[in-house]
Homo-oligomer: A and B are copies of this chain.
Amino acid sequence: MKKLINNPTAVVEEMLEGYVAAYSRYVRQLPQNPRSIVSVNTVRPGKVGVICGGGSGHEPSFLGLIGKGMMDGVPVGNIFASPPPDPILEVTKAVDAGAGVLYLYGNYAGDCMNFDMAAELAGMEGIRVETVRITDDVASAPKSEEERRRGIAGDFLVFKVAGAAADLNYNLDEVVRAASKANQMTKTMGVALSPCHIPQTGRPSFELGADEMEIGLGIHGEPGVQRGKIKPADEVADDLLDRIFADMPLSKGDRVVVLVNGLGSTTYMELFIMFRRTAQVLADKGIEIHRSYVGEYVTSLEMGGCSISLMKVDDELARLIDHPADCPMFVQMS
């Protein structure tokens, strides 16, 4: 494991220093806690505050998505570990503008515990907090136990919808409704090719043979649903899409937003080759692509592989996806 780092135990602090120095037009660290990052220009009276968070190592998520039309703040955890309640509460207080605050995060036990604790503490201080847990990873539990599923790249699409809704002055109940709909309509299937290495341990996040891939392997190395020899990209895309269609039936005339997300070391060339097949399959089924995102949105350090997410959109979700956004690591004109 070769990495451009200094002290393996200080990588998150040093990343945050660099991030805030690079993008001080957008973000600042709260004086009481460098792990509490908030927007410098999105909090305004009457706007619902929207927070997302989780462990570090998933950049551009979560801290790169703070800005107009997206997140108001992010409490930052250690690598692949939830932030504790303190920074969550601090960010909550900093972004509350009287209209309440929404917590958005992938559905992992540590995040659930810490964000719930912060929500309770915020409530005691008179701040109304609601939560939408993201559960887009089809591989992580059967349909009958959907509420147990993890959140992976689909996080980004739910953040996009919720951030736009808040920017359009939806009230808290309405932002929760839009974010929940976005989560219900978003399904993701991933494929892993190679592990990442945690700076502190230097160990790979999982082991995979030199000619193997694993379908559904999680972004922290959680076991997937099928391991086998690597196949041509079109076959991999077909497999991922078949599993999504089995979970969320789509019909001719439906509209979807497509996200092909790279996990870290997979090239843009491969992501576009995966997108190409996705677009072919959707065209064959008469499903319209409303908008496409191809790139790195939710990474797992330098893990190899990618995921395909489909969000089935109605007019409201389409409008919220199209709303402009201006963040350090994600900008969209309209």
Q: Which residues of A contact B (CB under 8 A)?
A: 2-6, 11-12, 14-19, 21-23, 56-57, 59-60, 64, 191, 193-194, 196, 210-211, 213, 230, 232-234, 236, 258, 260, 264-277, 279, 292, 294-296, 299, 301-302, 304-306, 326, 329, 331-333
Closest residue of B by beta carbon distance from A326: B333
Cα distance, A290 to B296, chains bound together (Å): 26
CB atoms of A273 and B15 under 8 A apart:
yes
The 4 closest A-B pairs by CB, nearest first: A18-B276, A18-B272, A265-B265, A59-B268
* Most chain B Cβ neighbours within 10 Å, of A11, A59, A270, A299: A270
A interface, by DSSP: helix, strand, loop or mixed? mixed
Can you give 21 contacting A-B residue pairs, CB < 8 Å?
A2-B193, A2-B210, A2-B230, A4-B274, A6-B233, A6-B234, A11-B269, A17-B272, A18-B273, A18-B275, A18-B276, A19-B294, A21-B292, A23-B292, A64-B268, A264-B265, A268-B329, A295-B329, A326-B333, A331-B332, A331-B333
Residues of B within 8 A of A275 (CB): 18-19, 21-22
| Shortest distance from the beta carbon of A5 to any chain B beta carbon, whole Å | 5
A18-B294, A267-B301, A333-B333 given; 15 more Cβ-contact pairs under 8 Å: A4-B191, A4-B193, A4-B273, A14-B272, A15-B269, A18-B272, A18-B279, A19-B294, A21-B279, A22-B258, A22-B292, A23-B292, A59-B267, A264-B267, A267-B299
* Most chain B Cβ neighbours within 10 Å, of A4, A16, A194, A329: A4
Residues of B within 8 A of A266 (CB): 4, 302
CB atoms of A56 and B15 under 8 A apart:
no
CB atoms of A11 and B273 under 8 A apart:
yes
Residues of B within 8 A of A264 (CB): 265, 267
Contact of A265 among B56, B271, B302 (CB under 8 A): B302
Closest residue of B by beta carbon distance from A292: B22
Cα distance, A15 to B233, chains bound together (Å): 12
**Contact of A233 with B4 at beta-carbon distance under 8 Å, contacts A265-B265, A268-B59, A295-B329 already known:** yes
Contact of A270 among B4, B23, B210, B306 (CB under 8 A): B4
Closest residue of B by beta carbon distance from A191: B4
Residues of B within 8 A of A265 (CB): 264-265, 302
